[in-house]
Amino acid sequence: MSLKWLEWSQKLQAIAQTGLTYTQSPYDIERYQQIRQIAAEIMATYAHETPTYVYDLLNKEEGYATPKVDVRGVVFHNDQILLVQEREDGCWTLPGGWVDVGESPSQAVIREVYEESGYQTRIIKLLALYDRNHPRHNHPPLRHHVYKLFFQCQISGGNAAESTETAGAAFFKEQEIPELSLTRVVPSQISRLFAHYRHPEWQPDFD
């Protein structure tokens, strides 16, 4: 299924959000609010949600519109990769999440790995920076435009543990990857990360 509707609605929302940030004209404010309403109606129609619900979500976004930043910790041990099981859908993913305001990406990934898996880690290198919205990644549609940063991490302490968001943490061989939470990570990304593990001389991927 084509996701052009999502691309169009995201662009309309970005125009509306940025316009509302800088304009002082009451006429332009009204126009940008109308553009946001159109974006909400497009998203609601194809996502099978109510326009009011989507508009309220979009209305919470303020400031110049830029992509959100998602970080993922890539932890290898004995040729296996660390995954955590999401309580939300019961599927597995690399530990990670949104970068908080005032927090660097490296701080965020160390925090997320610890919170979701119980392991303390240190950063080795950046393996990849991907545009989640790029068609080649095959993520399910999301209302946000997101950049995903994958950091290779090394365990420095801790033990596997559950959290409020995760029901467990475990290491898996490349041929034994369980069902993945596709909103967070997809099989092609896991395969590429294993390739990076086997080729530490590679430069980071992008886009």
CATH number at residue 93: 3.90.79.10
- Domain termination site, one of 39, 59, 79: 59
Q: Are residues 43 and 111 in the same domain?
A: no
Q: Which helix (H) or strand (E) holds 52?
A: helix 51-59
Q: Are residues 33 and 105 in the same domain?
A: no
| DSSP secondary structure letters along 155-170 | EEEE-----SSEEEEE
pLDDT recorded at residue 60: 84
Torsions phi, psi of 175, nearest 5? -85, 0
Domain extent at residue 153: 68-206
d(C-alpha 207, C-alpha 154), whole Å:
24
CA distances from 80 to 16, 56, 182 (A): 45, 42, 20
The per-type count for the chain, helices as H runs and strands as E runs, is 5, 8
Rg, the chain, Cα only: 19
Q: Are residues 78 and 169 in the same domain?
A: yes
90 DSSP assignment: S
Q: Are residues 25 and 100 in the same domain?
A: no
Are 5 and 46 a contacting pair, CB within 8 Å? yes
Q: Which amino acid is at 97?
A: G
Residue 121: is it exposed, middle or buried by C-beta count within 10 angstroms (0-12/13-18/19+)? buried
- pLDDT by 10s per residue, the chain, length 207: 467 888 899 889 889 999 999 899 999 999 999 999 999 999 999 888 898 988 888 888 888 888 999 999 999 999 999 999 999 999 999 999 999 988 999 999 999 999 999 999 999 999 999 999 888 898 988 888 899 999 999 999 999 999 999 999 999 999 999 999 999 999 999 999 999 999 999 999 998
Question: What is the pTM assigned to this prediction?
Answer: 0.79
Q: Are residues 35 and 116 in the same domain?
A: no
**Number of Cα atoms under 13 Å in the Cβ half of residue 57:** 16
Q: What is the percentage of the chain residues whose pLDDT exceeds 90?
A: 75
Q: Which residue has the tokens 């326009």?
A: 51
CA 117-120-116 angle, to 5 degrees, is: 20
Are 116 and 169 a contacting pair, CB within 8 Å? yes
Q: Which residue has the tokens 């086997």?
A: 198
Residue range 154-191, pLDDT digits in tens: 999 999 999 999 999 999 999 999 999 999 999 999 99
